[in-house]
């Protein structure tokens, strides 16, 4: 059996050479220098002698032949020589620019080691230093001045088969604020994890920066800043840019193209999600992805506390998009337990920069008003927690050290197993450390964080491994499932299914060690199982557009996954199966 998949710059042909083995051939028109400068095609010194001769690259490479395994060792040797994490980030991004398959092989060889470099917390530092770290453009930079020409800009991108886009306007990068055009590091990093953690094919991914300016005065004065040098443009011009972008994307790549919104400011994030969610295939990771991973952590924690979600009283430090997203998904999960929505809302308390969110307080947004409680106004977080006595506190306001020693000890005084989630990123913005939580609660605290923390050894000899509430457990698997079955509109129920699936994948031995999430080493398997669950959910609820419905959902998902293994080039006509020759004679 033979079939081919056409790409923009090459054709990939797969031939079943036996009942259980598939041989992959690549044909490309590129030759010589152009080929080895192309990260999608380059294999470095893994090219065979025949390939080198026929592709015109013999002499452009050293005469040595190295397997991919040896190339990985070479990369790791260079990586270990770097003096700090920013240098390591630049090293890995340089590899991605040279040899895509080797880059993903390195990442997946030890995902727990490399994820903090390509994602939080190092990606935050990389964004702050993006003017220095920038080497080669990855993705599209679309500015406010490109109105009426976005469809033309999209044609500049060399790939036609784009299935997933991550887009930001750089206004709220992690907990670091407005980084303008430097925020491009976030879409690049997110999509690297689409492939490394979820197996989404990298040539189907596109990072996008919508540059509308920046209000960061330091950047505007920086001669190395690479973005527009004016204040942010908002209002109708901003809205028109977003409308044109969404329409241009779907016109070029179809209505099935997934568009993930990332690190938009609160003022835009909620309204854009509400505006586009029922028209396009889109979601906001800061609202819905963070919600799914946080609720997954809470559901796993319930296996320790031995009660239900509706038994909890949850207090948020922060009332932005992350807090609102988590609170909405918690409410949905409580309703699933049979609790009326009005009663669910009484179990969620929020604190913003002005104090406890209560009814009658001035200047409450529509989102905050939904969670306002009947209670006197209070401003001090320590006093609020002592008064409310929550069973769980969740930090999402990027205020480092907000969970003080007094707060942690108080949580332990009125809860046998207090739930303490310090979810703000990067590490420097965490509300408390894992060690503070475990030591001040004498090991009884149930802890999760947004950025990674080292294991903690207690005085009694117990060693606890803090759970990282990393959105990478969510968005790669969600994207893979959505792409596989052609979901057009992503519902909140899909994210609740995601949270429940992740929580079920946490083993009892993980919980015993302090983990509320599966080990990061297993994240590729977690993403695969999550994608399969999403495909099942989509077909059951008439959300899928790929027909007919496949009997084997796992095979469907696998067919969309990227392989890190090098392919073999079909270097001349004698290497081609007869069917390929017939097709090529027509195509070329």
Neighbours of 573 (CB within 10 A): 11
The residues with which 392 forms a beta bridge, in sequence order, are 314, 419
- Report pLDDT digits (tens) over 322-365: 999 999 999 999 999 999 999 999 999 999 999 999 999 988 98
State the pLDDT at residue 22.
Answer: 54
Just list the catalytic residues: 119, 190
Tokens 């409580």 -> residue: 334
Is the per-residue pLDDT at 86 higher than 80?
Answer: yes
> What is the rounded CA–CA span in Å between residue 435 and residue 423?
15
Is-contact 150 142, C-beta < 8 A?
Answer: yes
User: What mean pLDDT is reported for the chain?
Assistant: 91
Tell me what the mean pLDDT of segment 368-385 comes to: 95
The burial of 164, by beta-carbon neighbours within 10 Å (0-12 exposed, 13-18 middle, 19 or more buried), is given as: buried
- Report pLDDT digits (tens) over 466-487: 989 989 999 999 999 999 999 9
- Report pLDDT digits (tens) over 127-163: 998 887 777 778 999 999 999 999 999 999 989 999 9
User: Which pair of tokens denotes residue 3?
Assistant: 């079939």
Q: What percent of the chain has pLDDT over 90?
A: 84
- Radius of gyration of the CA atoms of the chain, in A: 25
What dihedral angle (degrees, nearest 10) is formed by the CA atoms of 425, 429, 432, 433?
Answer: 70
Nearest to 130 by CA among 172, 171, 83, 180: 180
Under the banding of pLDDT at 50, 70 and 90, the label for residue 579 is very low
C-alpha distances in Å from residue 195, one per residue of 23, 62, 199, 206: 22, 30, 4, 12
State the pLDDT at residue 587.
Answer: 36
- Report pLDDT digits (tens) over 502-529: 999 999 999 999 999 999 899 999 999 9
**Residue 383 CB contacts under 8 Å (≥ 6 apart), including other chains:** none
User: Which pair of tokens denotes residue 447?
Assistant: 């802890």
Tell me what the mean pLDDT of segment 28-57 comes to: 93
> What is the rounded CA–CA span in Å between residue 188 and residue 93?
9
> What is the rounded CA–CA span in Å between residue 52 and residue 45?
10
**Residue 213 CB contacts under 8 Å (≥ 6 apart), including other chains:** 144, 180, 227, 228, 229, 230, 231, 232, 233
The residues with which 446 forms a beta bridge, in sequence order, are 419
> What is the rounded CA–CA span in Å between residue 297 and residue 251?
38
C-alpha distances in Å from residue 444, one per residue of 306, 349, 451: 14, 23, 21
State the pLDDT at residue 137.
Answer: 78
Neighbours of 125 (CB within 10 A): 19
State the pLDDT at residue 131.
Answer: 81
Is-contact 400 383, C-beta < 8 A?
Answer: no
> What is the rounded CA–CA span in Å between residue 360 and residue 376?
9
Is the per-residue pLDDT at 387 higher than 70?
Answer: yes
> What is the rounded CA–CA span in Å between residue 330 and residue 298?
9
State the pLDDT at residue 548.
Answer: 95
User: Which pair of tokens denotes residue 155?
Assistant: 């044609």
Neighbours of 484 (CB within 10 A): 25
> What is the rounded CA–CA span in Å between residue 450 and residue 10?
40
Under the banding of pLDDT at 50, 70 and 90, the label for residue 24 is low
State the pLDDT at residue 575.
Answer: 45
Is-contact 343 309, C-beta < 8 A?
Answer: no
State the pLDDT at residue 5.
Answer: 39
Cis peptide before 434 (omega within 30 of 0): no
The residues with which 473 forms a beta bridge, in sequence order, are none
The burial of 353, by beta-carbon neighbours within 10 Å (0-12 exposed, 13-18 middle, 19 or more buried), is given as: exposed
- Report pLDDT digits (tens) over 427-447: 889 999 999 999 999 999 999
Tell me what the mean pLDDT of segment 10-27 comes to: 57
């Amino acid at each position: 059996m033979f079939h081919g998949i056409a790409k923009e710059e090459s054709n990939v042909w797969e031939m079943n050479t036996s009942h259980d083995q598939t041989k992959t051939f690549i044909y490309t028109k590129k030759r010589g220098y152009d080929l080895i400068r192309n990260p999608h095609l380059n294999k470095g010194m893994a090219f065979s002698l025949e390939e080198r001769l026929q592709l015109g690259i013999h002499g452009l490479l050293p005469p040595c032949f190295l397997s991919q395994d040896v190339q990985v060792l070479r990369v790791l040797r260079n990586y270990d020589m770097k003096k700090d994490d920013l240098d390591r980030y630049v090293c890995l991004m340089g590899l991605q620019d040279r040899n895509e398959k080797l880059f993903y092989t390195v990442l997946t060889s030890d995902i727990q080691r490399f994820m903090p470099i390509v994602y939080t917390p190092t990606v935050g530092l990389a964004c702050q230093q993006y003017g220095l770290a920038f080497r080669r453009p990855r993705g599209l930079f679309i500015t406010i001045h490109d109105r009426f020409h976005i469809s033309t800009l999209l044609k500049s991108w060399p790939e036609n088969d784009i299935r997933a886009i991550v887009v930001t306007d750089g206004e709220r990068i992690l907990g670091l604020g407005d980084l303008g055009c430097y925020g491009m590091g976030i879409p690049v990093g997110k999509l690297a994890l689409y492939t490394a953690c979820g197996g989404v094919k990298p040539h189907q991914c596109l990072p996008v920066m919508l540059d509308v300016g920046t209000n960061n005065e330091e950047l505007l004065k920086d001669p190395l800043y690479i973005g527009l040098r004016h204040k942010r443009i908002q209002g109708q011009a901003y809205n028109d840019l977003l409308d044109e972008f969404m329409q241009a994307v779907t016109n070029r790549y179809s209505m099935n193209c997934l568009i993930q919104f990332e690190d938009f400011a609160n003022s835009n994030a909620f309204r854009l999600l509400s505006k586009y969610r029922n028209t396009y295939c889109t979601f906001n990771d800061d609202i819905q992805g963070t919600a799914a991973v946080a609720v997954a952590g809470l559901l796993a924690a319930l296996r320790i506390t031995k009660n239900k979600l509706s038994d909890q009283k949850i207090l948020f430090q922060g009332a932005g998009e992350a807090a609102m997203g988590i609170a909405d998904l918690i409410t949905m999960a409580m309703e699933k337990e049979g609790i009326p929505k009005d009663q669910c809302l009484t179990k969620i308390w929020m604190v913003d920069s002005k104090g406890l969110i209560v009814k009658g307080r001035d200047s409450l947004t529509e989102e905050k008003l939904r969670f306002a409680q009947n209670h006197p106004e209070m401003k001090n977080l320590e006093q609020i927690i002592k008064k409310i006595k929550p069973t769980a506190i969740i930090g999402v306001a990027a205020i480092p050290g907000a969970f003080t020693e007094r707060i942690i000890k108080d949580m332990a005084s009125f809860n046998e197993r207090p739930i303490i989630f310090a979810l703000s990123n990067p590490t420097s913005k965490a509300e408390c450390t894992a060690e503070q939580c475990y030591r001040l609660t004498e090991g009884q605290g149930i802890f999760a964080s947004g950025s990674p923390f080292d294991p903690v050894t207690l005085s009694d000899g117990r060693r606890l491994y803090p759970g990282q509430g990393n959105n990478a457990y969510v968005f790669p698997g969600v994207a893979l499932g959505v792409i596989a079955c052609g979901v057009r509109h992503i519902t909140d129920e899909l994210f609740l299914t995601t949270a429940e699936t992740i929580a079920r994948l946490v083993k009892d031995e993980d919980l015993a060690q302090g983990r509320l999430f599966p080990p990061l080493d297993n994240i590729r398997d977690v993403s695969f199982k999550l994608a399969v669950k999403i495909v099942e959910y989509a077909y059951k609820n008439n959300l899928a557009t790929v027909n007919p419905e496949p009997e084997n959902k796992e095979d469907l998902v696998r067919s969309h996954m990227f392989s890190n293994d090098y392919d073999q080039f079909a270097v001349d006509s004698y290497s081609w199966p007869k069917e390929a020759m017939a097709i090529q004679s027509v195509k070329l």
